[in-house]
Structure 1
Amino acid sequence: MQELRKINEFLGTRLSEEKLEAIKRYTSFSSMKSRKELLSDDLFKKEEPKEVVFFRKGIVGDWKKNFLPELQAEMDQWIKKNLTGTDLSLSWALAE
């Protein structure tokens, strides 16, 4: 709640404590997940829009269940193309 107050102050919106509390409830993880808002399936290339839910559990390593080998190959190509010649690196492993 303190962070919402800081944002409120920074933006000068002068929202009441009641409004801030409502924002807190509306933006809580459980509230957002329960709304089951879907993303464009163009982003995730899923056949069924119901498969594309934005909010996930946030469990470390859980992404590996959804990161198919085809997507891994696509990501490897992107990294090779975009990071070659830079001092940047992106190390990750699906098979850990």
Structure 2
Amino acid sequence: MYEFDISLGMDWLTEHHATIDCRSYRVIFGDIHAPEFIYHGSLPGKSMQIIYALQVRTLLSHGCEGFLATIHDTTLKVSSIHDQPIVSEFPDVFPDELPGIPPVH
């Protein structure tokens, strides 16, 4: 593998307080001086190529391989229905778990 591509959305980057450091081939999550997590690129000396979701869709439709990776923080507390301000006032109205995905109309 001679290069790697990264597909990111501005909304996602903003939500996760991410900073892309192209010179060091890393993405810093959280405060840049006290980061929660740092992703280090594996190929020093190569530039990071960023492509957008529409480009990803086009490449996949032309037979290119795509990989999707996710990270799940298992140390975070799972919020309950009682932690939500409005929902906590009416816990008998909202079920603990949703029965499923709504039907397509």
When you count strand as a share of all residues, which structure comes out higher? Answer: 2
Given the two structures, how large is their TM-score scaled by the length of structure 1?
Answer: 0.25
Given the two structures, how large is their TM-score scaled by the length of structure 2?
Answer: 0.24
Higher relative contact order (Cα pairs below 8 Å, separated by 6+ residues): 2
When you count helix as a share of all residues, which structure comes out higher? Answer: 1
